[in-house]
Amino acid sequence: MMLESCSSTNAFVGEQFRADPASWNTLDWAATGDQTSGTGRLGRAWVAPTGTSLALSVFFRVDEPGEIPSHEAAWLSVLCALSLTRTIEELGAASDAARLKWPNDVLLNGKKVAGILAQFHSVLNPREAVASGERETSSGVVVGIGTNISLTHEQLPVRTATSLALEGIEADIDRVCEVFLSHIRSDFEKLKASGYRTSVWLRGAVKEKLSSLGLDVCAELPNGRHVIGECVDLDPDGALIVETADGQSHRISAGDIVHLRRSDGAYA
């Protein structure tokens, strides 16, 4: 559903799911062009003036028959990022102008055009429902995507960000939403048809769009450590493999990363 205004579409969907878990199905969504208190990764704020960006949250049920298992759920934000790159291409970007910046951003011409935040929810079902055969808990993942649509340089919070308009792509909020939803529906369907085996096509499709593969990167970890080396692969669990100069391979999982940059400081 498209909302007039909302504090955070991720919080909205999460709250609605927690209040009535049975009423939320995979690929249900909420969006707005006026998000007043958006959140980003690691508790950062996500900001955009009214009417300049699309805040969209898509819901996925997990761990139920026919639904994605929770051990594969980390791929959902990558799947949405992939669908967004396809969306941006359909809206007119040159092929390969839109790239995935692991683990959760989409870059357009090397600048951040969208950020993605996935949140996991698990709720206990009412006792009466469990007595009549319902599962004890219902779980789901909310993937929130903030896409900068018409922000100007002055409106963008950082110089490393951009908007579709600044890159020459004219599309309104409803159109971006509609095109994205059609891509995520078909991309999710492919993942589902593969039995949620991400190795069948998703990992390969993501690797093709990944901005950091083959680059020298600097990964900042929560303990302040830095891993500096060449980004050589995306492993079957979706972690990045960085090879340091001493020939050692380091596995960096999405939950661990504070910043991932190129060794020269630019976006990787």
Ligand X SMILES: Nc1ncnc2c1ncn2[C@@H]1O[C@H](COP(=O)(O)OP(=O)(O)OP(=O)(O)O)[C@@H](O)[C@H]1O
DSSP 109-154: TTEEEEEEEEEEEEEEPPHHHHHTT--SEEEEEEEEEEEE-S--TT
Instruction: Tell whether residue 9 is a contact of ligand BTN (CB under 6 A).
Output: yes
- What does 245 bind: ligand BTN, ligand X, none (CB cut-off 5 to 8 Å by kind)? none
Contact range with ligand BTN by CB under 6 A, out of 82-90, 142-150, 176-184, 192-200: 142-150
* Between 104 and 138, CB nearer to ligand X: 104
CA–CA distance, 5 with 31 (Å, rounded to integer): 9
3-state secondary structure of 64: coil
Neighbours of 112 (CB within 10 A): 19
CB of 118 to ligand X, least distance (A): 14
CA–CA distance, 148 with 134 (Å, rounded to integer): 41
With beta carbons less than 8 A apart as the criterion, state whether 176 and 54 touch: yes
CB of 6 to ligand BTN, least distance (A): 8
Residue nearest to ligand BTN (CB): 115
Please, is 7 exposed, middle or buried when counting C-beta atoms within 10 Å of its C-beta (0-12, 13-18, 19+)?
Answer: middle
- Cα separations in angstroms, 141 against 21, 111, 182, 235, 252: 12, 27, 19, 22, 22
Q: Phi and psi dihedrals of 207, rounded to 5? A: -60, -35
- What does 157 bind: ligand BTN, ligand X, none (CB cut-off 5 to 8 Å by kind)? ligand X
Of residues 23 through 52, those in contact with ligand BTN by CB under 6 A are: 38-41, 44, 46
* Between 185 and 259, CB nearer to ligand X: 259
Determine which residue in the list 98, 100, 108, 117 makes contact with ligand BTN, applying CB under 6 A.
117
CB of 160 to ligand X, least distance (A): 5
Instruction: Tell whether residue 10 is a contact of ligand BTN (CB under 6 A).
Output: yes
CB of 12 to ligand BTN, least distance (A): 8
The contact set with ligand BTN (CB under 6 A) reads 8-10, 38-41, 44, 46, 55-57, 104-105, 115-117, 144-146
